[in-house]
C-alpha cells in the first residue's frame, strides 16, 4: 500500500540525519521507482523513492530492489546530474509531495516526488524550477508539462483524512519508521506474489478440469451407444436365422422372432445394394466395433476420472498453498499436463540462426535438447553435448538425437530419464506406437565416423529401455518447450 500523508511527514522528520550525505550512485528499478546510494564517512545508506501505483513511499531501505533487464532513460539523466551531489534538504511543500534538494558546484537540483496513490511521478528540476525530465513521460505529457518550462503543481486534490497512522516503528536501527515501511511493503509484495503464483497455477489446472469434464462427457456418450450395439447383434442373429426369407434389393424385411413370451414381428432395415448375408455382416460389424471399444471406453473413463480427481485435489491445494509449496505444486501440475505455459518466446532476429536443437524441460527442470534434423543431430551430439550428458535415440528408427544436460558426475533422476526417452520416441519414426525401444548412453560414448551420412553415429556402453509411451507425459513435455 502507498504511504499515508501522516506517515510521510513522520518519515521525512526521521530522514533528517541523512542531510549532508554524498550521492554515490542512482539506480532506477521501475519506471517510477529509484534508489539513491548515500555515503557518510561513518557509513552508507540507501534512500528509496517510489511513485509506483499502489506502492508510493519514501524511506531508507536495507536492500535495493532488483535491477531491470534494460536501464530506464531517467536513470541516465539522474546519474549524470546527481552523482557526487550533496543531499541538502527534504521537505513537504504539499500533502504527498516531497522535495529532495541536492547541492552541487553547478547549482542546486530538486527531485520532486509526487507520492500519490495511483498517478504519482518523479521530476528532476533545475535551480530555476524548470523541468529537466520526468520518470513517466506519459504522465508528463498528460499534464502538458514540457522540458525547459517551469514546473507546475498538479490540480488540487481532496485532502486525505487525518486518522492516526497504524505504522509502528520496527527494529532498533537509526530509522525505525523506514524499517516498518519496508517490512510492510515486503509483506504486501509477498502476499501479492503468492496470490499471483496461485493464480498462475489455478488457471491451467481449472482448464485441465474442464478438459477432463469434456472428455468424460464424450466417453459417456460412447458408453451410451453400447445398448444400441446389442440391438444390432440381435438383428444380425435374426437375419442369420432367416437369410432365405430376405429378397435382394429389399429396403426392409419383417421377420418373426421367438421370445419366451411367444412370437413377435420385428422390422429390420436393410441396405438394398447388399445381399442378405452382407446386411447380416454389416449389423455384426457395427456391433463388434462398439462392443470392442466398450472396454477401452471404460478403461479410459476410469483413467480420466482418476486424473480429474487428482486435478481437483491439486486445485484445492493451490487455493491454500504457501509460497514454499508452489514449486512442488507446479511440478505436480506439469505431471498432470496442466502446468502453466512457458513465457512467450521473444522474437528472433531474421538473420539470427536457429540453434541445432529444440529446448524442453524435464519435470525436474533439466534441459532436454532435441535435434532439429539429421545435420543438427550431428552438431548437437558432437559439438553441444558434453561427455557426462545423457544421449538417447529410438533404436533402429530414424529420428532426433536427444541430449539431457547433466551436471558433472551426476546421474539423471527417474523422471528426467523417462522424459528424455519420451522425446526420443516422439521425435522418431516410432511416434504413435505404444511401446518403443530407446537407446541410452553417455554422450562421451557416442562417436561420429568420418564420411558417414548426416545423423549416423556409433555408440557403446548403451542400455535399451522398453519404453511404454505415456501420452500425458508427452503432452506435458511439448508444453514445456522454451526458446533455445
pLDDT in tens, 319-333: 999 999 999 999 999
> Confidence class of residue 346 from pLDDT cuts 50, 70 and 90?
low
Cβ of 137: how many Cβ atoms within 10 Å?
15
**Number of separate domains in the chain:** 3
- 136 plus 240 within the same structural domain: no
Q: Is residue 124 part of a domain?
A: yes
Task: List the domain range (segments joined by +) for residue 399.
Answer: 357-479
Q: Is residue 469 part of a domain?
A: yes
Reference 65, options 109, 119, 29, 110; nearest CA is 29
The C-alpha atoms of residue 256 and residue 86 are separated, in whole angstroms, by 109
- 429 plus 361 within the same structural domain: yes
Beta bridge partners of 44: 39
pLDDT at 358: 94
* Predicted confidence (pLDDT) at residue 481 exceeds the cutoff of 90: no
Reference 307, options 419, 211, 221; nearest CA is 211
How do residues 52-67 score in pLDDT, each as one tens digit? 998 899 999 988 888 8
Helix (H) or strand (E) holding 49: strand 43-50
Q: Is residue 173 part of a domain?
A: no
- 314 plus 415 within the same structural domain: no
- 240 plus 362 within the same structural domain: no
Q: What is the CATH number of the domain that holds 205?
A: 1.10.287
> Confidence class of residue 88 from pLDDT cuts 50, 70 and 90?
very high
Q: Is residue 216 part of a domain?
A: yes
Q: Is residue 313 part of a domain?
A: yes
Cβ of 96: how many Cβ atoms within 10 Å?
22
Domain boundary among the residues 309, 341, 373 is at 341
The C-alpha atoms of residue 247 and residue 331 are separated, in whole angstroms, by 65
Mean pLDDT of 35-49: 90
- 23 plus 146 within the same structural domain: yes
- 248 plus 327 within the same structural domain: yes
Q: How many H-runs (helices) and E-runs (strands) does the chain carry?
A: 10, 19
How do residues 1-27 score in pLDDT, each as one tens digit? 788 889 999 999 999 999 999 999 999
Reference 220, options 309, 288, 301, 308; nearest CA is 301
pLDDT at 353: 79
Q: Is residue 172 part of a domain?
A: no
- Which residues does 390 contact at the CB level (< 8 Å), separation at least 6? 403, 404, 406, 412, 416, 417, 420, 440, 441, 442, 443
Mean pLDDT of 183-201: 91
Task: Report residue 483 as a C-alpha cell.
Answer: 526458446
- 331 plus 391 within the same structural domain: no
Q: Is residue 365 part of a domain?
A: yes
- 362 plus 334 within the same structural domain: no
- Indicate the pTM of the whole model: 0.57
Range 373-393 burial, b when 16+ CB lie within 10 A, else e = eeebbbbbbeebbeeebbbbb
pLDDT at 164: 56
Mean pLDDT of 385-412: 93
* Predicted confidence (pLDDT) at residue 347 exceeds the cutoff of 70: no
Least reliable range by pLDDT among 155-169, 193-207, 299-313: 155-169
With beta carbons less than 8 A apart as the criterion, state whether 46 and 27 touch: no
- 401 plus 303 within the same structural domain: no
- 157 plus 203 within the same structural domain: no
User: Over the Cα atoms of the chain, what is R_g?
Assistant: 36
Least reliable range by pLDDT among 197-211, 230-244, 268-282, 291-305: 291-305
Helix (H) or strand (E) holding 218: helix 176-224
Q: Is residue 176 part of a domain?
A: no
- 333 plus 362 within the same structural domain: no
pLDDT at 365: 82
* Predicted confidence (pLDDT) at residue 82 exceeds the cutoff of 90: yes
- 256 plus 286 within the same structural domain: yes
Question: Would you say how long the chain is, in residues?
Answer: 484
How do residues 421-466 score in pLDDT, each as one tens digit? 999 999 999 998 999 999 999 999 999 998 899 999 999 999 999 9
pLDDT at 484: 60
Cβ of 138: how many Cβ atoms within 10 Å?
10
The C-alpha atoms of residue 198 and residue 189 are separated, in whole angstroms, by 14
For the chain, the first-to-last Cα distance in angstroms comes to: 39
* Predicted confidence (pLDDT) at residue 41 exceeds the cutoff of 70: yes
Q: Round the average pLDDT of the chain to a whole number and report it.
A: 89
Mean pLDDT of 102-112: 93
Amino acid at each position: 500500500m502507498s504511504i499515508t500523508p501522516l506517515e510521510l511527514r513522520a518519515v521525512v522528520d526521521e530522514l533528517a540525519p541523512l542531510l549532508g550525505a554524498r550521492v554515490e550512485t542512482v539506480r532506477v528499478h521501475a519506471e517510477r521507482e529509484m534508489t539513491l546510494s548515500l555515503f557518510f564517512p561513518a557509513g552508507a545508506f540507501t534512500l528509496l523513492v517510489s511513485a509506483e501505483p499502489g506502492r508510493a513511499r519514501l524511506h531508507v531501505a536495507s536492500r535495493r530492489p532488483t535491477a531491470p533487464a534494460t536501464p530506464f532513460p531517467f536513470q541516465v539523466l539522474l546519474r549524470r546530474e546527481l552523482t557526487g551531489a550533496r543531499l541538502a534538504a527534504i521537505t513537504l511543500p504539499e500533502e504527498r509531495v516531497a522535495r529532495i534538494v541536492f547541492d552541487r558546484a553547478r547549482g542546486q537540483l530538486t527531485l520532486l516526488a509526487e507520492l500519490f496513490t495511483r498517478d504519482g511521478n518523479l521530476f528532476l528540476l533545475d535551480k530555476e524550477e524548470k523541468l529537466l525530465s520526468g520518470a513517466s513521460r506519459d504522465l508528463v505529457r498528460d499534464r502538458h508539462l514540457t522540458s525547459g518550462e517551469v514546473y507546475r503543481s498538479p490540480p488540487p486534490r481532496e485532502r486525505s483524512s487525518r486518522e492516526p497512522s497504524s505504522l509502528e516503528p520496527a527494529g532498533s536501527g537509526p530509522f525505525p519508521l523506514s524499517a516498518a515501511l519496508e517490512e510492510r511493503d515486503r509483506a504486501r509484495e509477498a502476499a501479492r506474489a503468492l496470490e499471483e503464483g496461485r493464480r498462475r497455477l489455478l488457471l491451467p489446472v481449472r482448464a485441465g478440469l474442464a478438459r477432463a469434464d469434456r472428455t468424460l462427457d464424450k466417453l459417456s456418450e460412447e458408453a451410451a451407444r453400447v445398448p444400441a450395439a446389442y440391438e444390432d447383434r440381435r438383428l444380425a442373429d435374426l437375419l442369420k436365422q432367416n437369410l432365405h426369407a430376405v429378397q435382394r434389393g429389399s429396403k426392409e424385411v419383417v421377420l418373426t422372432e421367438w421370445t419366451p413370451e411367444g412370437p413377435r414381428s420385428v422390422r429390420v432395415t436393410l441396405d438394398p445394394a447388399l445381399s442378405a448375408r452382407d446386411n447380416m455382416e454389416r449389423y455384426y460389424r457395427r456391433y463388434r466395433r462398439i462392443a470392442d471399444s466398450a472396454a477401452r471406453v471404460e478403461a479410459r473413463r476410469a483413467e480420466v476420472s482418476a486424473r480429474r480427481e487428482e486435478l481437483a485435489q491439486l486445485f484445492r491445494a493451490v487455493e491454500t498453498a504457501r509460497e514454499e509449496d508452489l514449486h512442488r505444486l507446479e511440478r505436480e501440475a506439469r505431471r498432470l499436463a496442466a502446468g502453466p505455459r512457458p513465457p512467450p518466446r521473444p522474437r528472433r532476429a531474421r538473420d539470427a540462426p536457429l540453434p541445432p536443437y529444440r529446448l524442453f524441460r524435464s519435470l525436474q527442470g533439466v534441459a532436454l535438447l532435441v535435434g532439429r534434423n539429421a545435420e543438427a543431430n550431428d552438431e548437437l551430439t558432437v559439438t553441444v553435448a558434453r561427455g557426462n550428458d545423457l544421449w538417447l535415440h529410438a533404436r533402429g528408427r530414424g529420428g532426433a538425437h536427444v541430449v539431457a544436460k547433466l551436471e558433472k558426475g551426476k546421474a539423471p533422476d527417474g523422471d528426467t530419464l523417462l522424459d528424455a526417452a519420451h522425446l526420443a520416441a516422439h521425435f522418431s519414426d516410432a511416434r504413435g506406437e505404444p511401446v518403443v525401444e530407446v537407446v541410452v548412453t553417455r554422450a562421451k560414448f557416442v562417436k561420429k565416423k568420418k564420411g558417414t551420412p548426416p545423423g549416423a553415429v556409433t555408440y557403446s556402453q548403451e542400455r535399451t529401455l522398453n519404453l511404454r509411451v505415456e501420452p500425458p507425459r508427452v503432452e506435458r513435455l511439448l508444453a514445456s518447450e522454451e526458446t533455445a
